[in-house]
Amino acid sequence: MKTTAVNLAFSVLALSAVAAIAQSDTAWDKSYPVTGQPSLVLSTGDSHLNIHACGGCQTVHIHVTAENASLSRYTLEESQSGNTVQFSLKEKPQMGFHINLHPSSVRVDVETPANLTLDARSADGTLTAADLHGDLTIHTSDGNQELSGLSGNLKLHSSDGRLVVRNASGTLETRGSDGTQDIQGSFTSVLLHSSDGSITIELAEGSHLSADSRIESSDGSVTLRVPKTFPAELAVSTSDGSIQSTLPLVLDGYNSKGHSGHNIRGKFNGGGSLLTIHTSDGSVHLSTL
């Protein structure tokens, strides 16, 4: 009798979940109440994922919309345990050949309290995020990242797509396989790597590195712009490229022999934490704001 009751309760829960997912063929919507800092685990494929903060809210709200597309083509999974919310939207494998005469798109909008722990992954589509703070990990496999107002411990990974960061602060780690990185903010440490693509980073007024940092590009240029009052020790090298600098560095070393690459080392504004910049195949440009 107890087993029957448990199975019946499970069946009711399963039916409720299916009903919630099948709200509409073109839209899905759900809110998750939280009592503290939420932890979000988000995973989407073939859609635009947008994450933004809400003012003073105590819920995580997820809204899915489809334009010229059917959500029946997607598998949607969602759950909540305490303050942890997990959400996944992936396109089902398609059999045969399909023709769509109208452009289709699916968009996932996530509204959340600003302070959170985030693990967001997009397999195919643009990911945008704004005004979030905390331990933030963002990964895109095939699509751009457009991020603004992020702060905290930032870890950004892009396998194939452009990475744009504006008005960010805290510690920043980026890793890009194929695409440019365009970064602006005030950071206490940076660890930036690009396998194939240029890196441009502009440090905002008042920036001060409190830990040794590194910027590295295997195939692409590096451009660094810093405030005139920025204190740092710079070690810059390139295996196959030039170094152009308008910074008034007090040099500790300089080598411009073409067959062995180029490198300089010096202090800016009396020195500070070490900032190492290296390119394997690309030039380095250093200047003030």
pLDDT band at 4 (very low <50, low <70, confident <90, very high): very low
Contacts of 190 (CB under 8 A, 6+ apart): 171, 172, 173, 201, 209, 213, 214, 215, 275
Model confidence, pTM = 0.89
Encode pLDDT of 212-230 as tens digits. Answer: 999 999 999 999 999 999 9
pLDDT recorded at residue 276: 98
Region of poorest pLDDT, from 1-5, 65-69, 240-244: 1-5
Mean pLDDT, all residues of the chain: 90
Distances from the Cα of 31 to the Cαs of 21, 59, 60, 77, in angstroms?
Answer: 13, 6, 6, 14
What beta strand segments (E) does 46-83 contain? Answer: 48-54, 59-67, 74-81
pLDDT recorded at residue 72: 93
Distance CA 98, CA 100 (A): 7
Residue 132 has pLDDT above 80, yes or no: yes
8 Å CB contact between 63 and 78? no
pLDDT recorded at residue 215: 98
pLDDT recorded at residue 261: 81
Region of poorest pLDDT, from 47-51, 152-156, 239-243: 239-243
Encode pLDDT of 53-75 as tens digits. Answer: 998 899 999 999 999 889 999 99
Encode pLDDT of 9-33 as tens digits. Answer: 434 333 334 334 446 799 999 999 9
pLDDT recorded at residue 18: 37
The more confident residue out of 95 and 163 is 163
What token pair was written down for 59?
A: 């819920």
